[in-house]
Structure 1
Amino acid sequence: MEGNNQTTVTEFLLLGFSGQSDQEEVVFGVFLWTYLVTLIGNLLIILAISCDPHLHTPMYFFLANLSSVDICLSSVTVPKMLVNHLVGSRSISYMGCMTQMYFFITFGNMDGFILSTMAYDRYVAICRPLHYSLIMRPRLCVLLVAISWVITNLHALFHTLLMIRLTFCSDNTVHHFFCDPYPLLKLSCSDTFINDMAAFTEGGVIFLTPFTCIVVSYAYIFSNVLRVPSARGIRKALSTCGSHLTVVSLFYGAILGVYMHPSSSFSVADMVATVLFTVMTPLVNPFIYSLRNHDIKAALRKILSL
């Protein structure tokens, strides 16, 4: 189509979940409460790890990074929806939409990469405990996180540039509460074949790489535990890995349900599933990691008693 590198749309309308005012009030209240709890919970996790020298270990270093990414992931999508509700507007500028999509892709994928580094850390702790301090050096931990940031930012930039090349004509209503790539692709009057292929190929690699690392790490962990079965060993593995496995299941279960099919089939059910890993997962992460973690609870009690 001629002029594919230009757009006639200057803003998008984020339709959200409902067009009825009474339901929108309920949705606003739920999202506001969820966002505040997410901020407070994850900030407390970061503060506890930063202030307690006993928590300056690779496992808690990755957990602090996960909490930081969760705060950023929620902050990319939820505040804009809340502000739009307060001012009585549904609009977001074209550049604002592209920016929101870029950071959503970055932080969403960064969550997966951090979860994979945490899985690797658990593998080393359980399968190679005598070499743990030698392998999981601070330099390696920082390097793993830095490489993850570079990969996820390049991935987000690639897909944002592919989106910018598309033409958006008369229809600018996004059936979502933020600028998710799939609903945006449905609005384009250009050919989105390249975008869909990039999502399934390059995007699939970015998705499968951390997911494969997690699966392989836990395959070695369970193989190691079952090789010398004991009630104490099984309890230790479950206590060490249970929280992480719960978060991984929530995160990847939602992503598989939403993004592993063509963009043209994006539905209301997919929008609800998106809420699970953009809003609910960052909310429950601090509770999952703190409720059964004695070290985190002890550090939090010290902070709250000050």
Structure 2
Amino acid sequence: MAKLTKAQRKAHTEAEAILRKDRLSEDEKDFVFQNWHEGANHINGAAGAFFTPWGLAADFSIDAGGAGGRVIDLCAGIGILSYFLHHRAKWADNCPELTCVEVNPRYVEVGRKLLPEARWICADVFDWRDWQRELGGQHFDVAVSNPPFGAVRRTGNGPRYRGRQFEFHVIDIAAQLADRGAFIVPQTSAAFRYSGAQYFKRVEAGPAAEFERLTGYRMHEGAGVDTSMYKDDWKDTSIICEIACYEFDQDRARHGRVQERLNALPVPVLPYRPAEQLVLL
């Protein structure tokens, strides 16, 4: 468990008291999202469970979109990413259909209080074939996630990816479930450098490039959110991230067209040559 400061412990206790109510106001939900500490009663560091800062989650919703569509939130925590997706679309009366997947039962319990509009699934993300089957094989328009980062212990692998970075296993799974996706990843795993940098720079080597080589899915930058503004807003860590966007459906279609052209090429025919008897000396 994390070692909370006195101020953090006090705020977390207040958030727990709010969660005991039958119904929560929007102000109370906001307080819980910002002050309920993921490490107060859980070893969140070992699991890589660090909840998205409030401001970053709000900006993330710009890139994620999903209004009026089907959205799946993988490694959802208590649902802050989905919360902002819901409320950004709410004013246009075009709320997405939200599904949140989280392995920690307590996080799911809290998430159901904060975002009852979502369908909550308490399950391991690596068991995606099982819970997707229970959902009737449902496909989603958008996948979002702030997954654990780096070489965190995991229970499985993505469909194709076998590397060390947990975040790319989640992105690989998301590609099986959705047409496009938006993800929070550490800057060292991104295919570009923007946050906290003097200028935008594309990175053609590293984990994202290796993931693209293995899967065919290319990481793109989003609307231009500089996440370095929020690097000190994480609880118990400080990190610069990037918002990574993927167009899974477009990449699949592009690779399908390439394969069709390859299949249409004539197969070269080698000239016939009769077999010759080798002379043994």
TM-score higher than 0.5 here? no
Higher-strand-fraction structure: 2
Bigger Rg over Cα:
2
Higher-helix-fraction structure: 1
TM superposition score normalised by structure 2:
0.31
Tell me which of the two structures has the higher relative contact order, counting C-alpha pairs closer than 8 angstroms and 6 or more residues apart. Answer: 1
